[in-house]
């Protein structure tokens, strides 16, 4: 889809972007606004969130996505300020910061689960009535390549993101009859605060960092497309595309038995 086509598809649409004060959320909020959408930026970083909202000509709402009522209040705010919601980019997330062994930390574990998984579940629950009221819409959740592959160095983060991938694959077809499309975006190491503690390691191993704008462009491709239940991987040196879950065994009777 060309920029002109994306602009025609998104003009006057209302989009909520969680984690919108920086990184992937910031880049996507700016891209949505440039394409003609009205943007509601949500984040715990009020200073950064207000700055992005001002840049987009949109609105800012402080929101802890791990709190169900805060998600409901965010959607109510968007409806009051903009008249409805058409798109939700459920992007807020944090690094885990612990494992399951001696370094296990319950508070850090709960914080990561709250932002990375509850934030997607609660955000989806809160925004669905608003999307239904508009006759449908699009939800994109930020997962990760860590949701498609094993991550021995951070198994709890991988667990968070695998859960988001499973949610996208399951909710996509479940919501299709309501004209609500649910997809996930799965970037590798992308420019955001979540990789701050990894930058030295990435530099030493000469691993490229994906520009946030590449992720933002992919999100716009997803929300202006017609797919649902897809998990788009973003890997340095390759064009983003939906991951193909080939040869996954199902519950049916095996062929030949």
Active site residues: 157
Instruction: Give the other-Cβ count within 10 Å of 77's Cβ.
Output: 18
Concatenating the DSSP letter of every residue in the chain gives --HHHHHHHHTT-EEEEETTTSHHHHHHHHHHHHTT-EEEEEES-HHHHHHHHHHHT-EEEE--TT-HHHHHHHHHHHHHHHS--SEEEE---------SSTT--HHHHHHHHIIIIIHHHHHHHHHHHHHHHTT-EEEEEE--GGGTS--TT-HHHHHHHHHHHHHHHHHHHHHGGGTEEEEEEEESSBSSGGGGGGHHHHHHTTPPPBPHHHHHHHHHHHHTS---S-EEEE-TTS--EE---TT---SSPPTT-
Take residue 250 and report the two structure tokens written for it: 């199902």
Q: Are strands 231-234 and 241-242 parallel, antiparallel or unpaired?
A: antiparallel
Give the strands of the sheet with 180-187, arranged side by side. 59-62, 38-43, 14-18, 87-90, 137-142, 180-187, 231-234, 241-242
């Amino acid at each position: 889809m060309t920029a002109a086509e994306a602009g025609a598809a998104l003009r006057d649409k209302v989009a909520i972007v969680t984690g919108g004060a920086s990184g992937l959320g910031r880049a996507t909020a700016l891209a949505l606004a440039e394409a003609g959408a009205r943007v509601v930026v949500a984040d715990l970083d009020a200073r950064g969130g207000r700055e992005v909202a001002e840049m987009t000509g949109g609105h800012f709402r402080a929101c802890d996505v791990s709190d169900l009522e805060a998600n409901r209040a965010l959607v109510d705010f968007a409806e009051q300020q903009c008249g409805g919601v058409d798109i939700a980019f459920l992007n807020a997330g944090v690094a885990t910061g612990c494992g399951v062994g001696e370094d296990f930390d319950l508070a850090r574990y709960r914080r990561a689960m709250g932002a990375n998984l509850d934030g997607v579940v609660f955000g989806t629950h809160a925004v669905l009535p608003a999307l239904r009221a508009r006759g449908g819409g699009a939800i994109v959740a930020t997962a990760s390549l860590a949701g498609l592959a094993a991550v021995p160095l951070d198994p709890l983060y991988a667990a968070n993101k695998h859960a988001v991938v499973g949610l996208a694959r399951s909710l996509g077809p479940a919501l299709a009859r309501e004209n609500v499309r649910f997809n996930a975006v799965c970037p590798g190491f992308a420019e955001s605060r979540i990789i701050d503690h990894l930058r030295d390691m990435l530099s030493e191993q000469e691993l490229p960092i994906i520009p946030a704008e590449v992720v933002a462009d992919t999100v716009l491709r997803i929300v202006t497309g017609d797919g649902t239940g897809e998990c788009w991987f973003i890997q340095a040196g390759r064009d983003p595309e939906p991951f193909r879950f080939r040869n996954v065994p199902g519950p049916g009777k095996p062929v030949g038995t």
